[in-house]
Amino acid sequence: MIDLHCHLLPGIDDGPKDMDAALALAAQAVSDGVTHSVLTPHIHHGRWDNSIPGICQAVHSFRSALSDSQIPLTVAFAGEVRVGAEILTMLPRDEIPFLGVWGSKKVMLLEMPHSHILPGTDKIVRWLLRNNVMPLIAHPERNKSVMRNSDNLNFLIELGCLFQVTSGALVGQFGESAKTCAEVLLKKGVVTVLASDAHHVKRRPVNLSCGFEAAKKIVGLKLAQQLVYDNPLKIAGSIFSSASSVALIK
Ligand SMILES: [Fe+2]
């Protein structure tokens, strides 16, 4: 499986605090059946001011540690970008690390607040699409407005966005409302990928296999495989095959 959204880099956001914790998460990913992970630290202005050079440096150290520990996980990186006006200046400055491509557009992992849908989100998304960027909306099933009524996501569906549901949500890790919402979105056929959004081996583990099994019961084997393998590969294949993402499998 290919995990397109996880926080495995140490000391860079609210993921693992140190390299040992990061390696434990990576080992957990491998045990779970993940071969490739795109590391997506938060990029959230004023809270997690991560930038491409800083993430690059952290990835370099993490790859060395994975290799030293003989953990066969291939990693690339992007970022989980918080929705906000900052995006309008970051994009022209090439400050956004993309997840890959979808057709002719670059794919950006876009995070909404959990509490509501930020007014103006539609304008930012339209602007992104005009600028050849396809938003992949992170964990819509955990947004309170969407949990209340999944139709509140319709404007983003109609704009053509992609959607990432969290594997743990399908097994109740985030409560009953998020679980129901994740199931509704799956049944609607709007989910593009499942990802772990892992942060911690116990509290927020890599459990993509649980999500896959749960999805299989709802949409069947073929579609469930698309969510954890085919679509993630379609999006991120290019960043894994680039020179900067050389496979670490020994
Ligand atoms: Fe995340």
Centre of ligand 1 from the C-alpha of residue 178, in Å:
15
- Which residues neighbour ligand 1 (ion) by CB within 5 Å? 80, 197
Residue 244 confidence (pLDDT): 44
pLDDT in tens, 77-106: 999 999 999 999 999 999 999 999 999 999
Q: Model confidence over 204-230: pLDDT tens digits?
A: 999 999 999 999 999 999 999 999 999
- Residue 241 pLDDT class (50, 70, 90 cuts): confident
Alpha carbon distance 157, 147 (integer Å): 15
Q: Which domains does the chain have, with CATH numbers?
A: 2-245 (3.20.20.140)
Rounded Cα distance between 145 and 232, Å, is 26
What the block records as the tokens of 168 is: 């743990």
- Å from CA of 166 to ligand 1 middle: 9
44's tokens: 């959230």
HEC readout, 172-229 = CCCCHHHHHHHHHHHHHCCCCEEECCECECCCECCCHHHHHHHHHHHHCHHHHHHHHH
Distance (Å) from CA 80 to ligand 1 centroid:
6
Compute the distance from residue 2 Cα to the ligand 1 centre, in Å.
15
In angstroms, what is the span from residue 164 Cα to ligand 1's centroid? 10
87 CA to centre of ligand 1 in angstroms: 17
Distance 140 CA to ligand 1 centre (A): 11
Write the pLDDT tens digit of every residue in 23-67.
999 999 999 999 999 999 999 999 999 999 999 999 999 999 999
CA of 38 to the centre of ligand 1 (A): 11
Please provide the size of the chain in residues: 250
